[in-house]
C-alpha cells in the first residue's frame, strides 16, 4: 500500500481490527532515502522523503491510536534509524532522510507523552546497517568494508537481530518503556 495515502492507511488499520477483533500492535516501517548534496536537492524530492518517512508514520500512529486509545492499551513501534542521531554525510549525504528519521524520534517521544497515561505506548527502534532494499542488500564490497570499519562489532546486522527488540517493544515485557528509541546498531552510535 501507499503509506502516503491517508485513506489507505485508515483502511489497513480497519481491516486488521476487523480481522483480529482489535488492534494491539502497530509497526510503522516504510521508508525511502535521498542521497546527494543538500544544495542540489529539490524541495519536491526533500518533501517526498519527509512525506514517506515522517508524515506517513504520523498517519499510522494516529490511525492506530484511534482504535487503541478507547481500549486503553496498545503498542506502537516506529522504525527510525541511526541517521536520526547524526549525519552520515562522510559517505552518504542525505538531508531529507536524516531530517525525517530525527523527526520520527521526536514524534515518538511526543506521541508517547500524549498517549501513555491512556494505555498506549509509543516507542521506536533505530537500526544501524542491515541488508534491506534501502541499503542495496549491502552487496557493494566497499560499502561493507566502510560499515565494518565504523561499527565496533565489526559487521552489519543480520535481519533476525532486530526481532528481539521488536518483540520486546510489542510485548508486556516493555510495559514501563515509553517514548524510547531502542538503538540496534552494533555500536555504530558509540563513535
Domain that holds residue 39: 6-190
pTM: 0.95
- Mean predicted lDDT score pLDDT of the chain: 94
Q: Give the burial class of 20: count Cβ atoms within 10 A of its Cβ; 0-12 exposed, 13-18 middle, 19 or more buried.
A: exposed
Q: What is the pLDDT of residues 131-164, one digit of tens each?
A: 877 776 566 888 889 999 999 999 999 999 999 9
- 91 is a domain residue: yes
Q: How many domains does the chain have?
A: 1
Dist. CA 82–CA 87, nearest whole Å:
9
CATH of the domain at 181: 3.40.50.720
Q: What is the pLDDT of residues 36-69, one digit of tens each?
A: 999 999 999 999 999 999 999 999 999 999 999 9
Active site residues: 97
The pLDDT of residue 138 is 62
The pLDDT of residue 137 is 55
Amino acid at each position: 500500500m501507499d503509506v502516503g495515502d491517508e485513506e489507505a492507511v485508515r483502511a489497513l488499520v480497519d481491516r486488521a481490527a476487523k480481522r483480529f477483533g482489535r488492534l494491539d500492535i502497530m509497526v510503522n516501517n516504510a521508508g525511502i532515502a535521498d542521497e546527494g548534496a543538500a544544495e542540489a536537492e529539490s524541495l519536491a524530492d526533500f518533501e517526498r522523503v519527509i512525506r514517506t518517512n515522517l508524515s506517513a508514520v504520523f498517519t499510522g500512529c494516529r490511525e492506530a491510536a484511534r482504535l487503541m486509545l478507547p481500549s486503553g492499551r496498545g503498542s506502537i513501534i516506529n522504525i527510525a534509524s541511526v541517521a536520526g542521531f547524526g549525519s552520515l554525510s562522510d559517505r552518504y549525504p542525505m538531508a531529507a532522510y536524516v531530517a525525517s528519521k530525527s523527526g520520527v524520534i521526536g514524534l515518538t517521544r511526543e506521541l508517547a507523552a500524549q498517549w501513555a497515561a491512556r494505555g498506549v505506548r509509543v516507542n521506536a527502534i533505530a537500526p544501524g546497517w542491515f541488508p534491506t532494499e534501502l541499503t542495496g542488500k549491502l552487496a557493494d564490497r566497499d560499502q561493507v568494508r566502510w560499515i565494518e570499519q565504523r561499527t565496533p562489532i565489526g559487521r552489519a546486522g543480520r535481519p533476525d537481530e532486530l526481532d528481539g527488540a521488536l518483540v520486546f517493544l510489542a510485548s508486556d515485557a516493555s510495559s514501563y518503556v515509553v517514548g524510547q528509541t531502542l538503538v540496534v546498531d552494533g555500536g555504530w552510535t558509540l563513535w
